[in-house]
């Protein structure tokens, strides 16, 4: 929040300097900060009611009838149309670097597309290259977004490798930089993928920090095997992408991350729910009480994976994303139903667009095709069309899944995600009757293909207000590059952590008080070449991260011995096994044995 | 050779046997008939059989005559840190026969790194020397490479082994990675083997164990606390996913919890070829005993996956067994003395694992499932004998009362009631996990290889008469479906013209920010920071080599004592570079 004021000043400066269509924008500017909407049906996630709404300096100041407002403010007559909180797209990847290329929608183009679709806040993913510090990657993304973003934004940070340094950086990000969500990858073997132990440790850290664990759920080991097999069979086109990533592999990883999250009592958020099986696993886990949230994306709600078999390579490649779109054509309908009934809660777009020439990097090998689909502009209309028009959800639930739930999970509520006095003036006046046909010709993204090409959707924003200013009106976008503010998010979001806290109080474990066992003890070899499935706990002094305990052995590695005493370091870790029979014997017991 | 000689021992008088007036119970039907057997094989079934005079006749008096039980999971005479389990093949198979089980299938556990075939031969020689009933062997795959693959091939084709177990638990020891599982499943799927899996997530267990010990929980309750049933269910789910991906039949050993059983039953509903094996312990008792104040008693229940503390588990598993969602039962009989268990008296992770059950299995299932009306006697035969025989590809030689089948029979007394206790059981273990349990149903006569081994409560078992029964690959029970699916599973590429549009410039070396596929190029597991702490400045290369292993695998475990930072070389970048180069040199 401290950032708010200076940013606001910057914003004003930038607005004046950079605004598009300068003369008229400058003229409007003073008044633009005060705005009255009359005769709207205000839609929150819990209720709808008719009222006027007055906003000033980017905040909602008054809601009610017959408001007393300064003279001469700009007034919009809603004519009873729905006014709802601006959408929050919880998952974007604007301006994302990939092997020296960058996705075609940068923060300017991307947020413009978002605003055009009624989304007034995006949360982008910081993807640090393994080996690069989380903080410097975060600062890099901040810089890109601050200079270009047209709407408020926040950032998730992806954990692409795991060691003690990363843990310290996570702490810093949570405490000082307004990040409360981290994504781990169960896929992308040898690149981003973490092992189960690492995931366990990351989740433990995340829980202690009060953040949300996000997971990209696909079993990367199996995917790698399948990719090899499919390439060996001579399948190199985009259909290989989906063949090598069947939905069972997604469901498996979701199930595994749910298990680890339960074990660590860490809230879990599954990004990109793409298949029925994965959604089912989430729904079942919720019924068992797991604190888990599922995020279907525009693409999985709006289209399917049959296009991977398109004869047009460029078109087929445009659908490449991971987990892939399911070839099962009933998937979108199924996911919309789960979204409507509350089994899935949040929607994003995972907007990450690459042009055909960029995709063509993988023209001879589907594993090299850069991944990502569009959807930030289409998200709201598409959900309206698939869910509200069909009667699966009402407009309140629509607000919940497009905005409110996201704000709650990521601790932005009620500043975002609600129309209330004191909330940010990010609003959308929604026209449920307008019909449009999605096409790459008319969309605001830079990408050549739109995966929803030709889809007719009903419902669209009529007016979009971001930071108290009108950014979409009469079909015209008036966005301002760089006026988007970074919105910091605090840890321990109530919506998520109230339950977690209650559970951790209950989860205390106690040993059974017993007298010492003083019977005979069998003699065993000290360095066991064990034949039995005896546990290997001692071999992995885990949890150091969380408990801060110092595994004695690791000090060997600090290695300033002149003698080279740590030559034994390359011996298997099993040697750290607790010695059952200490050298010299364990007096009383061995004699009995 | 020993076994073959044994088969040629001339039959004695005892080898001709008539069972009169019994009700024959197979898995499909029950009917009244007499059975005549000779040379260990059933020769005739019917009424008014014409048989040689003067042969020994057993009056069944209308009692049920069922195929002898097959215990598909035992660990007799298992080596453990220089000692062995207290029940060797003789003691163990005696207990089996006393309980109505006439065939056992033991697990060969090769030490990681050693030869599978040598281990197999070792087990063969132990078992041939001592076993009192027929047996087969599963071989556990405890490590994986090309030579192991070769050995698995040999075992399948020449040695009569068709089932192999892999472990998803026991981290850094037996545990297989997902990729290894995929390769093993693929291979066995092609060769006609059955993959058995010990399903628990070993990585999480290791973390939980460390946490328990840190909290000061060192007793047997720590065992079950560190292995919650979710971890079992998770691993079952993962194994099923891989099996489904590789089109390989899957057999889950030791189904211990409701969650794990649920996953299996859901997978079967989705069409997966998967079999679940609850064991005597999970069907008969629960994990509340881990909290017993008597350490020795609590420790005697230690097995993995652990018994579930949820007391409704046994009933639930019996129901799924009755409904066909679970198919086979074993005992996982693996008994240690209290002194052996006491190896872990200060640390539950050191307690040798295993429970008894080979003797109690049949009675227990009868009592829990048949007397309660969950299953009928035919289903009882299916889950105690027939299904196992089918999966092992021994059907109908084993698992059925039919002309030509082996004369392994049990006359079952459904009214007998006995109380289980360590005082009277045939195992050498001091504790019995079913102590004090009153069970209805017991064998009154057991016939093994056509010979009476249990009669009037007296056991006449003979060590060393047990034959090794080779199992052949591609059991119909599992593979008919798998074969059909293979024919459907052929993938085809989309025929497209060549893409001839523009292609972006990109740097193939750096897989930068994007989650793009499986780049083998990227230097993931090279935590740059950690290299700072690797102090290989003055010492020589050996240390350096030692350093390299650790940080790549478990970077988090490296302590970062801040004070050490001052020892960093000023030019850390160069240092990293050299290390990376070194790493690449080692690994390419």
Model confidence pLDDT, tens digit, residues B85-113: 999 999 999 999 999 999 999 999 999 98
Model confidence pLDDT, tens digit, residues A420-445: 999 999 999 999 999 999 999 999 99
Predicted TM-score (pTM) of the model is 0.81
Q: Which residues of A touch B350 (CB under 8 A)?
A: 534-535, 578, 580
Mean pLDDT of A280-296: 95
What per-residue confidence (pLDDT) applies to A273?
97
Partner residue opposite A188 with nearest CB, options B515, B533, B557 = B515
| Whether the predicted pLDDT of A303 surpasses 60 | yes
What per-residue confidence (pLDDT) applies to A31?
46
Domain segments of chain A: what residues? 83-504
Model confidence pLDDT, tens digit, residues B262-290: 999 999 999 999 999 999 999 999 999 99
Question: For residue B488, what pLDDT band results from cuts at 50, 70 and 90?
Answer: confident
Mean pLDDT of B204-223: 95
Which run of H or E residues covers position A89? strand A87-92
Tell me if residue A122 falls in helix, strand or coil: strand
Model confidence pLDDT, tens digit, residues B416-435: 999 999 999 999 999 999 99
| Nearest one of B444, B398, B437 to B419, comparing CA atoms | B437
Tell me if residue A560 falls in helix, strand or coil: coil
Here the tokens at position B307 are 């018994």
Inter-chain residue contact A99 with B512, CB threshold 8 Å: yes
User: Phi-psi region for residue B177, left (φ > 0), alpha (ψ -120 to 50) or beta?
Assistant: beta
What whole-number distance in Å separates Cα of residue A340 and Cα of residue A373?
A: 23
CA angle A316–A321–A327, rounded 5-degree value: 60
Instruction: Enumerate residues 257 to 296 of chain A having a beta carbon within 8 A of any beta carbon in chain B.
Output: 259-260, 262-263
- Give B109's contacts (C-beta < 8 A, 6+ positions apart): A531, A532, A533, B75, B78, B119, B140, B142
Mean pLDDT of B397-415: 97
Q: What percent of chain A stands above pLDDT 70?
A: 83
Query: Phi and psi for B245 in degrees, rounded to 5?
Result: -65, -40
User: Phi-psi region for residue A171, left (φ > 0), alpha (ψ -120 to 50) or beta?
Assistant: alpha
Inter-chain residue contact A369 with B528, CB threshold 8 Å: no
Partner residue opposite A360 with nearest CB, options B242, B504, B535 = B504
Q: Is the CB of B533 inside 8 Å of chain A's CB atoms?
A: yes
Inter-chain residue contact B204 with A260, CB threshold 8 Å: yes
- Compare B567 and B176 and report the one with higher pLDDT: B176
| Whether the predicted pLDDT of A591 surpasses 80 | no
DSSP annotation string for B307-353: PPS-TTHHHHHHHHHHHTSS---B--B----HHHHGGGTT-GGGSPP
Here the tokens at position A493 are 């979001």
Model confidence pLDDT, tens digit, residues B335-391: 999 999 999 999 999 999 999 999 999 999 999 999 999 999 999 999 999 999 999
Domain segments of chain B: what residues? 65-488
Question: For residue B486, what pLDDT band results from cuts at 50, 70 and 90?
Answer: confident
Q: Among the CATH numbers 3.20.20.140, 3.40.50.300, 3.30.420.40, 3.40.640.10, which is that of B65-488?
A: 3.20.20.140
What per-residue confidence (pLDDT) applies to A505?
83
DSSP annotation string for A247-300: HHHHHHHHHHHHHHHHHHT--EEEEEE-SHHHHHHHHHHHHTT--EEEEEBHHH
DSSP annotation string for B364-403: HHIIIIITTTSS-HHHHHIIIIIHHHHHTT-TTTSS--ST
Report CA-CA distances (Å) from B567 to A82, A237, B548, B551, B576. Answer: 65, 52, 18, 18, 15
What per-residue confidence (pLDDT) applies to B14?
53
Class for the domain spanning A83-504:
alpha beta
- The whole-chain average pLDDT of chain B stands at 86
Say what the alpha-carbon torsion angle A294, A300, A302, A303 is, to the nearest 10 degrees: -170
What whole-number distance in Å separates Cα of residue A108 and Cα of residue B248?
A: 50
Q: Which residues of A touch B522 (CB under 8 A)?
A: 130, 190-191
What per-residue confidence (pLDDT) applies to A196?
95
What per-residue confidence (pLDDT) applies to B498?
83
Instruction: Enumerate residues 508 to 547 of chain A having a beta carbon within 8 A of any beta carbon in chain B.
Output: 509-517, 519-525, 528-545, 547
Model confidence pLDDT, tens digit, residues B506-544: 876 444 333 333 333 333 333 333 333 433 434 334 333
Q: Is the CB of B73 inside 8 Å of chain A's CB atoms?
A: no
Inter-chain residue contact B556 with A167, CB threshold 8 Å: yes
Mean pLDDT of A368-375: 96
Question: For residue A17, what pLDDT band results from cuts at 50, 70 and 90?
Answer: very low
What per-residue confidence (pLDDT) applies to A569?
43
- The whole-chain average pLDDT of chain A stands at 86
Model confidence pLDDT, tens digit, residues A113-127: 999 999 999 999 999
Suggest the residue from B75, B303, B516 to mutate for an interface test with chain A (most A CBs closer than 10 A). B516
- Give B51's contacts (C-beta < 8 A, 6+ positions apart): B16, B18, B36, B44
What is the distance in angstroms between the Cα of B287 and the nearest Cα belonging to chain A? 14
On the question of a cis peptide bond just before residue B410, with omega within 30 degrees of 0, the verdict is: no
Model confidence pLDDT, tens digit, residues B40-94: 999 999 999 999 988 999 999 999 999 999 999 999 999 998 889 999 999 999 9
| Whether the predicted pLDDT of B550 surpasses 70 | no
Nearest-by-CA chain B residue for A580: B343
DSSP annotation string for B27-68: SS-EEEEEEEEETTEEEEEESS----TT-EEEE-TT-EEEEP
């Amino acid at each position: 929040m401290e950032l708010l004021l200076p940013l606001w000043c910057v914003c004003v400066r930038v607005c004046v300097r950079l605004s598009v269509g300068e003369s008229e924008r400058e003229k409007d500017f003073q008044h633009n900060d005060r705005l009255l909407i009359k005769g709207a049906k205000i839609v929150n996630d819990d209720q709808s009611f008719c009222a006027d709404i007055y906003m000033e300096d980017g905040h909602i100041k008054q809601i009610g009838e017959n408001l007393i407002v300064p003279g001469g403010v700009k007034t919009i007559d809603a004519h009873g149309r729905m006014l709802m909180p601006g959408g929050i797209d919880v998952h974007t990847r604007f301006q994302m670097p990939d092997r020296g290329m960058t996705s075609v929608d940068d923060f300017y183009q991307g947020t413009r597309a978002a605003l055009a679709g009624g989304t007034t806040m995006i949360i982008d993913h910081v993807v640090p290259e393994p080996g690069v510090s989380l903080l410097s990657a975060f600062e890099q993304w901040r810089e890109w977004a601050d200079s270009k973003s047209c709407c408020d934004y926040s950032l998730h940070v992806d954990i692409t490798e795991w060691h003690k340094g990363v843990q310290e950086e996570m702490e810093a990000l949570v405490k000082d930089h307004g990040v409360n969500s981290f994504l781990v990858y169960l896929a992308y073997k040898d690149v981003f993928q973490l092992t189960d132990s690492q995931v366990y440790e990351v989740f433990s850290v995340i829980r202690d920090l009060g953040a949300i664990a996000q997971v990209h759920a696909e079993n990367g080991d199996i995917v790698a095997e399948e990719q090899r097999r499919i390439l060996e069979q001579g399948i190199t086109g985009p259909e290989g992408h989906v063949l090598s990533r069947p939905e069972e592999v997604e469901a498996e990883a979701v199930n595994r991350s749910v298990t680890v999250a339960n074990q660590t009592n860490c809230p879990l958020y599954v990004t990109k729910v793409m298949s029925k099986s994965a959604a089912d696993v989430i729904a079942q886990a919720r019924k068992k009480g797991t604190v888990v949230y599922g995020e279907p994306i525009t693409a999985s709600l709006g289209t399917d994976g049959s296009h991977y078999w398109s004869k047009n390579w460029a078109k087929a490649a445009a659908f490449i994303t991971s987990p892939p779109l399911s070839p099962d054509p009933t998937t979108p309908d199924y996911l919309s139903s789960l979204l409507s009934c509350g089994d899935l809660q949040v929607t994003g777009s995972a907007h990450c667009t690459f042009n055909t020439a960029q995709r063509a990097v993988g023209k001879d090998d589907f594993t090299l095709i850069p991944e990502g689909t569009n959807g930030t502009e289409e998200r709201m209309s598409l959900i309206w069309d698939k869910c509200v028009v069909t009667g699966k959800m009402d407009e309140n639930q629509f607000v919940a899944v497009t905005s409110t739930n996201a704000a709650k999970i990521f601790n932005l509520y009620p500043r975002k995600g609600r129309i209330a006095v004191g909330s940010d003036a990010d609003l959308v006046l929604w026209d449920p009757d307008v019909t449009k046909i999605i096409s790459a010709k008319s969309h605001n993204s830079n990408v050549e293909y739109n995966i929803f090409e030709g889809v007719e959707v009903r419902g669209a924003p009529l007016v979009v207000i971001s930071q108290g200013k009108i950014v979409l009106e009469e079909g015209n976008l008036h966005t301002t590059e760089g006026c988007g503010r970074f919105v910091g998010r605090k840890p321990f979001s109530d919506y998520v952590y109230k339950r977690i806290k209650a559970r951790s109080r209950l989860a205390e474990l106690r040993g059974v008080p017993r007298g010492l066992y003083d019977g005979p003890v069998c003699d065993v070899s000290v360095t066991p070449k064990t034949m039995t499935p005896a546990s290997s706990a001692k071999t992995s002094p885990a949890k150091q991260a969380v408990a801060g305990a110092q595994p004695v052995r690791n000090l060997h590695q600090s290695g300033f011995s002149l003698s080279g005493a740590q030559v034994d370091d390359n011996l298997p870790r099993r040697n750290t096994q607790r010695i059952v029979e200490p050298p010299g014997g364990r007096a009383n017991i061995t004699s009995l044995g | 050779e020993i076994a073959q000689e044994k088969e040629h021992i001339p039959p004695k008088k005892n080898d001709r046997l008539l069972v009169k007036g019994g009700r024959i119970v197979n898995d499909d039907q029950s009917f009244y008939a007499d059975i005549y057997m000779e040379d260990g094989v059933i020769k005739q079934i019917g009424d008014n059989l014409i048989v040689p005079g003067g042969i020994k006749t057993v009056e069944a008096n209308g009692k049920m005559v069922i195929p002898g039980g097959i215990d598909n999971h035992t660990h007799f005479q298992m080596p453990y840190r220089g000692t062995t389990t207290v029940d060797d093949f003789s003691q163990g198979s005696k207990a089996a026969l006393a309980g109505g089980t006439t065939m056992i299938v033991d697990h060969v556990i090769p030490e990681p790194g050693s030869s599978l075939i040598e281990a197999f031969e070792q087990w063969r020689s132990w078992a041939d020397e001592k076993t009192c009933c027929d047996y087969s062997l599963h071989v556990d795959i405890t490590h994986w490479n090309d030579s192991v693959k070769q050995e698995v091939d040999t075992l399948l084709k020449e040695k009569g082994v068709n089932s192999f177990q892999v472990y998803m638990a026991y981290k850094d020891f037996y545990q297989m990675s997902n990729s290894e599982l995929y390769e093993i499943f693929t291979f066995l799927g092609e060769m006609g083997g059955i993959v058995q899996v010990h399903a628990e997530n070993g990585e999480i267990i290791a973390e939980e164990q460390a946490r328990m010990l840190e909290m000061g929980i060192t007793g047997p309750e720590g065992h079950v606390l560190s292995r919650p049933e979710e971890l079992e269910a998770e691993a079952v789910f993962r194994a099923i996913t891989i099996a489904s991906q590789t089109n390989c039949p899957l057999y889950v050993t030791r189904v211990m919890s409701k969650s794990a059983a649920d996953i299996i039953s859901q997978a079967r509903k989705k069409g997966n070829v998967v079999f679940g094996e609850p064991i005597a312990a999970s069907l008969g008792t629960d994990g509340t005993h881990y909290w017993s104040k008597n350490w020795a008693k609590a420790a005697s229940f230690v097995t993995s996956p652990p018994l579930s503390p949820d007391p409704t588990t046994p009933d639930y598993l019996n129901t799924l067994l009755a409904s066909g969602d679970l198919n086979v039962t074993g005992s996982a009989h693996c008994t240690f003395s209290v002194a052996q268990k006491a190896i872990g008296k200060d640390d539950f992770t050191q307690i040798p694992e295993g429970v008894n059950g080979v003797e109690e299995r049949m009675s227990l299932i009868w009592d829990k499932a048949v007397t309660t009306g969950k299953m009928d006697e035919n289903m009882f035969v299916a889950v105690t004998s027939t299904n196992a025989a089918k999966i092992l590809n021994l059907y109908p030689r084993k698992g059925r009362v039919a002309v030509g089948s082996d004369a392994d029979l049990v006359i079952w007394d459904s009214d007998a009631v006995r109380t289980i206790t360590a005082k009277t059981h045939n195992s050498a273990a001091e504790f019995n996990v079913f102590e004090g349990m009153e069970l209805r149903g017991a064998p009154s006569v057991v016939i093994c290889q056509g010979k009476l081994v249990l009669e009037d409560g007296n056991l006449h078992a003979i060590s060393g008469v047990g034959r090794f029964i080779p199992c052949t690959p591609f059991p119909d029970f599992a593979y008919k479906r798998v074969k059909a699916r293979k024919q459907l599973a052929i993938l085809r590429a989309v025929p497209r013209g060549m893409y001839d549009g523009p292609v972006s410039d990109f740097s193939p070396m750096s897989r930068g920010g994007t989650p793009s596929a499986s780049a083998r190029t990227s230097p993931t597991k090279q935590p740059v920071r950690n290299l700072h702490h690797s102090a290989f400045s003055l010492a020589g290369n050996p240390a350096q080599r030692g350093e390299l292993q650790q940080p790549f695998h478990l970077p988090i475990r490296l302590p970062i004592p801040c004070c050490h930072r001052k020892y960093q070389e000023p030019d850390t970048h160069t240092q990293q570079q050299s290390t990376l180069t070194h790493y690449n040199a080692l690994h390419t």
